[in-house]
Structure 1
């Protein structure tokens, strides 16, 4: 038989011996579990991939915010350098476009029949599909 380690006292009773055996089993089970986790390459690779994905997502969000800030800064610099007549012309064109869009929307609401207005999304999709089909057919003929 093996001798007990010098730092652990020997059991004085069968009950103490059972407790020591149970404790040793528990520790051995934890050790085996830890070793099994270390040898599970697929699980470790998935964990690493998850960590890298989270890091990449965070970095992409950070870079996106930086790019947005730089774009806003550049837009302000360009706007500051534009001559006043160009700014006024651009503002007038934007106002005119808003007015025209409002007029088109009102005209649509006034003139389009209810079934057409209710199915506007479907009609736009069908029109786009028809346009794409015409373009594709025209390309095939050439």
Structure 2
């Protein structure tokens, strides 16, 4: 900053000086706050993570709606005979799974049953992660199949 010699005509009044000082303090405070906000990495990361989470939730909702609509369209196009056969197959699969479960309980050793139960519990607790990984693998497999053709 350069200072010019003060004329008697250009000397500001004390009230004007106080106003300029207050204005400068306010600007300096805003600048310091802006710098502090930029250096607060944790807060910026939390804010970005929140935005990403909100975006992901919104996108997941959109995808769910699209999947529901697509499923409805496909089901509407299926003949009734196919739907009946699918329902029968699902019933048979449930019955077979129930039988296999009973045999497992009768014949498997207790320590093995405990380990299996723990694994099943972990799978239920991390269902979303498992489904995401499975979907990713399916996409990669499909992409590799498409590239080969």
TM-score (ref. length: structure 1): 0.57
Paired with 2:42 and 2:109, the residues of 1 have a C-alpha distance of 57
Count of aligned positions: 107
The answer for unaligned runs of 5 or more in structure 1 is 9-23, 125-142
> Aligned residue for 2:14?
4
User: Which of the numbers 83, 94, 106 marks the counterpart of 1:87?
Assistant: 83
Within 5 A, what are the aligned runs for 1:1-142? Answer: 4-5=14-15, 28=25, 32-40=28-36, 42-43=38-39, 47=43, 49-120=45-116
Q: Which has the larger radius of gyration?
A: 1
Deviations 1:51-109 (A, max 9, x none): 34322321221111111111111111111110111111111111111001000100001
> Aligned residue for 1:128?
none
RMSD over aligned Cα atoms: 3.6
TM-score (ref. length: structure 2): 0.55
> Aligned residue for 2:142?
none
